[in-house]
Amino acid sequence: MPNPPGIPFAFQPSAERLRLASADHIAKKSLAEKAFVVCVLVLSTTAFVNLLPGESGIEYEEQGKLFARILWSLLYLVMLVYVRKRVWELLRLMWQNKPVILLLGWAGLSIAWSIDRQVTIRHFIALFLSSFFAVYFSVRYSLREQVRLVSTTLAIVIVSSVGACLLFPKYGIYAESALDEPSWQGVFSGKNMLGKFAILAALILFLYLLREKRRMAAGAGIVLVFLVILLTRSKTPLVYFVAGILAFPFVRAFLRNPGMKKKIATIALLVFSGLAAWTYYNWENFTYALGKDPELTGRVGLWALSMTWIADRPFVGHGYDAFWSDYYGPAADFRAASGWLVATHAHNGFINLWLDLGAIGVLIFAVGAAVTYRRSLELAKTSASMQGIWPVSFLTFYLLYSITETSFLSRSDLLWILYVATVLAGQRFIERGQVEVVG
């Protein structure tokens, strides 16, 4: 059956199975549409947020800047214009995406018991629209194109950060006091944000390094990202950068030796499990060697204190994004007790999710992530290209980085958008039984 006029998504005619864009149409995208996608992805990193008019701090984190809200609303309207003739198709795809739709459904239900219903409603709407954009992004673009667009996004924010630090150091470089070493934060509101996206950029550059073409450019990019990570003075991305260097030979061997993929994966698992065990039993020496304290700058205490509030509502949580919503609720007492007065989340993805959506929400996410990881591994095993290992590489980064930094289900957030797109990529692979999505 021919496709109706309009944006060429070119879905397969089955109403019950996941539908894919055809190879003939997938390349026909205007420069304006790609620019729009990059604009959304850049804004979803929270880059340039300090340039937006309005107040900053905890109030911004919880209520958002009016200008930012207006900007996001306009971008979502543009998205709806692009997909106006495919809205119901995309919603059906979203509905078929069980790992995500169950989580969104539980977050939506949490409005009923939220301790700050207004915040939960507003933030859930933003979360739903972010997820809808992720479905559009995943269906509209092949994995190859997705990686390119994310690469462009990260190049913009990192190069802009370098420019901000060199040309406008009062804006791009931060020191809490005259005695502290200055740390680069670039166009972000903190060094940890710049470090997080620098390490994501490094991950993509390592994947590009696996290709035969443009290795020199990828190598130069890795050196630049490494320097940025050093200048942030943030230790977490530095640890992951070193881990990436150690993993690179295994990944290269994995792609170049199709008959030995299972054996290579097993060896890599044993090596990194051994490193993890050594780190655990030598935790104090390891952290002191990095110039950090064993409490991870108060994170361990933050996690321990979180369990007290989790015990109040262990199964259903406090409502999506409600726990940290204001100065007068549980978060106010939490900040005072922890001594972390500017804490806007628990600095651990699973703990933060537990506070918001309870053990049920954590279980839904964990099962969905496990299913997606298994599918992504199958995709990597059957692929000979760097795009084929992008989903499992991103998921590994997302889950590991959540231990100390990243929160799951963050509205209008690049990592959540990429997670939903990754879930869809795994589902598309299973539905089709082939690696067409690699491109």
- Residue type at position 356: D
Q: What is the mean pLDDT of residues 395-402?
A: 92
What's the rounded Cα separation, in Å, for the pair 4 and 329? 51
Residues forming beta bridges with residue 144, ordered by sequence position = none
* Residue 28 confidence class, pLDDT cut points 50, 70, 90: low
Closest by CA position to 410, among listed 147, 418, 115, 48: 418
* Residue 222 confidence class, pLDDT cut points 50, 70, 90: very high
Interior angle at CA 90, CA 85 and CA 93, nearest 5: 150
Predicted local confidence at residue 406, as pLDDT: 76
The token pair that represents 375 in the structure block: 């599918």
Is the pLDDT at 315 greater than 90, yes or no? yes
Using one digit for the tens of pLDDT, what is the confidence trace for 94-121?
887 888 999 999 999 999 999 989 889 9
The token pair that represents 433 in the structure block: 């039984």
Tokens 């549409």, located at residue? 33
Provide the angle, in degrees to the nearest 10, between the axes of the packed helices 390-401 and 235-256.
150
- Of residues 22 and 123, more confidently modeled: 123
What's the rounded Cα separation, in Å, for the pair 13 and 157? 40
Closest by CA position to 402, among listed 439, 330, 354: 354
DSSP letter assigned to residue 428: H
The domain spans of the chain are 23-438
* Residue 164 confidence class, pLDDT cut points 50, 70, 90: very high
Is the pLDDT at 58 greater than 50, yes or no? no
Q: Please report how many Cα atoms fall inside a 13 Å half-sphere around the Cα of residue 264, on the Cβ side.
A: 17
Question: Range with the lowest mean pLDDT among 185-199, 238-252, 327-341?
Answer: 327-341
Q: What is the mean pLDDT of residues 273-291?
A: 86
pTM listed for this prediction: 0.86
Concatenating the DSSP letter of every residue in 221-234 gives HHHHHHHHHHHHT-
What's the rounded Cα separation, in Å, for the pair 165 and 183? 10
